[in-house]
Structure 1
Amino acid sequence: MIQRIQTVYLLLSALLMGSLFFFPFAQIETETNEVYSFTYRGLTNTDGETIIPTLALAILLTVATFVSFISIFVYKKRVLQIRLCGLNMALLLGSTGMIYFLGTQLIDDLTGVLNYKITTAFPVIAMILTFLALRAVAKDIALLKSMDRIR
């Protein structure tokens, strides 16, 4: 299982998505010098209290992380693995869009400056890694079909 390159890609993708639960996406500094963090739970203040919850984003990130882990362990069913990778890419694209959308909505609610962190790019990087895994699985399928023709 770990010998295949798509497993490494999917594991890195899952680790990147899992790290989003520990680091903030952005920081908002208001005109009154208050600092808020935009995390997977929503907008939190410096005390750690969630002011504006974002349950949909938390669910989307959780599902995307679990789909990455599940697709690692279905390595014997390559067609299912390709479908899960496609689903995961759609979830990652949706989470990227939702992070941007919620960030712009939060900055509209609070007048201030929105500073995105490097963790905002993690879903995009995970999507690229998932695409590479999808291509590697497709290569495995093509290789197995060519071996069947030789027999």
Structure 2
Amino acid sequence: MIQRIQTVYLLLVAILSAVTFFLPIATIVTPANVFDLSCRGFVATPPIDALHSSTWALSLVNILIPVIALGTIFLFKRRRLQLVLSYINFLLMDAYYVIVIITLWFADQQLATSSHWIYHYAFIFQIINMILTFLAIRAINKDEALIRSLNRLR
């Protein structure tokens, strides 16, 4: 299981996604306050209760990505299912960015002041995860092609 390169790729996906859960993703800067967005919600500096925006979808997607990646590692004998789960994980990573942008936009509309967004380095982690998932999909396809060629020789 660990001898296969896709295991390393998927393990890195799980680790980066787990780290993303605890780091701030983006910041909304207004003239009066700074709001940090993480998967746990918005945190205001100085502390106020002005922004009520739900981040449950962001949290759910960010929990599903490492769970699916870890589950995919242990399905090493079922390569077709590994491929399907990797594609689903890739789509969840796309959904992550859509949810972040929508959450920031709705929060910005709720604040109704001039503001700008700043993305943190944790925002890039899902792009790295997409690349790693793509590499894992290629490696799984290579394994599948190798197995088919060995079955042809029998």
Q: Partner of 1:74 in structure 2?
A: 75
Instruction: Using the TM superposition, give the Cα deviation of residue 51 of structure 1 relative to its aligned residue in structure 2, in angstroms.
Output: 4.3
TM-score by length of 2: 0.89
> d(CA) in 2 for partners of 1:115 and 1:109?
17
The 2-side partners of 1:119 and 1:16 are apart by 9
Query: Which stretch shifts more, 123-132 or 99-108?
Result: 99-108
Q: Give the 3-state SS of the residue equivalent to 1:76 in structure 2.
A: coil
Partner residue, 2:134: 131
User: 2:27 matched to which residue of 1?
Assistant: 27
Percentage identity across aligned positions?
Answer: 38
1:44·1:51 contact (CA, 8 Å) conserved in 2? no
Q: Distance in 1 between matches of 2:20 and 2:76?
A: 25
Matched residues, number: 150
Q: TM-score, normalised by structure 1?
A: 0.91
Deviation at 1:2, TM superposition (A): 1.1
Separation of aligned partners in 2, 1:16 and 1:48: 30
Q: Which residue of 1 aligns with 2:12?
A: 12
In structure 2, stretches of 5+ residues that fail to align are none
Unpaired runs of 5+ in structure 1? Answer: none
Q: Deviations over 1:85-131 (max 9, x none)?
A: 01111111111111122122222322322111111121122112111
Change in CA separation of 1:93 and 1:66 when aligned onto 2, cut-off 3 Å:
same
Superposed displacement of residue 42, structure 1? 2.1
- Paired with 1:29 and 1:79, the residues of 2 have a C-alpha distance of 45
Measured in 2, the distance between the counterparts of 1:9 and 1:93 equals 18
Q: Secondary structure at the match of 1:134?
A: helix
Are positions 1:85 and 2:86 aligned together? yes
CA contact (8 A) 2:53 2:103 kept: no
Note the C-alpha offset of 1:48. Answer: 9.7
Matches within 5 A, 1:98-117: 98-110=99-111, 111=113, 112-117=115-120
Question: Deviations for 1:52-105, whole angstroms, at most 9, x for unmatched residues?
Answer: 331111111111221111101111111111110011111111111111221222
Aligned to 2:39: 40
Name the amino acid aligned to 1:69: L
Aligned equivalents of 1:7, 1:55: Cα separation in 2: 29
- Which structure 1 residue ranges, 4+ long, deviate > 6 Å from structure 2? none
Aligned alpha-carbon RMSD (Å):
1.8
